[in-house]
Amino acid sequence: MKVRAVRGATTVERDDVEEIYAATRELLTAMLERNEIDLDQVVSVLFTTSPDLVAAFPATAARALNFADIPLMCASEIAVPGSLPRCIRVMMHTYSDRDRSDIRHVYLRDAVTLRRDLV
């Protein structure tokens, strides 16, 4: 098996703990399902949030989905003028037999504007 990266992003309406957790769970679940990934295949997950999201760590929501023994890291995106507000981004590293071109990246809510070519 090879290590593959699966990208994803979503947005929330406001900087709120429960909104961040719910959106993160929705995104991670979609990433796993669309790529037929079992948690045993996940190597690590990197989360970033836009600078306007400070209420919660997305990794905390991942732990509620049984990601507890998977290395997780959160960071803040750089504050680029005009970038998408209230955005949570994910890069999930997994073991997979899929070709890179067969990986299904997931963009939800307003984040579909980031990669219309992949949605």
Query: Could you read off the pLDDT of 25-84 as tens digits, one per residue?
Result: 999 999 999 999 999 999 999 999 999 999 999 999 999 999 999 999 999 999 999 999
Q: Nearest Cα to 6, choosing from 93, 96, 70, 72?
A: 93
63 annotated active-site: yes
Active-site annotation holder among 4, 21, 87, 89: 89
Active-site annotation holder among 77, 95, 98, 104: 77
Say if CB 96 and CB 103 are below 8 A apart.
yes
pLDDT digits (tens, 9 = 90+) for 13-25: 999 999 999 999 9
By CB atoms closer than 10 A (0-12, 13-18, 19+), residue 33 is exposed
- What's the pTM? 0.96
87 annotated active-site: no
115 pLDDT band, cuts 50/70/90, is confident
Q: Catalogue all structural domains in the chain, each as residue range(s) with its CATH number.
A: 2-113 (3.30.1330.40)
7 annotated active-site: yes
* Predicted pLDDT of residue 119: 64
Active-site annotation holder among 34, 74, 98, 104: 74
Active-site annotation holder among 7, 25, 34, 104: 7
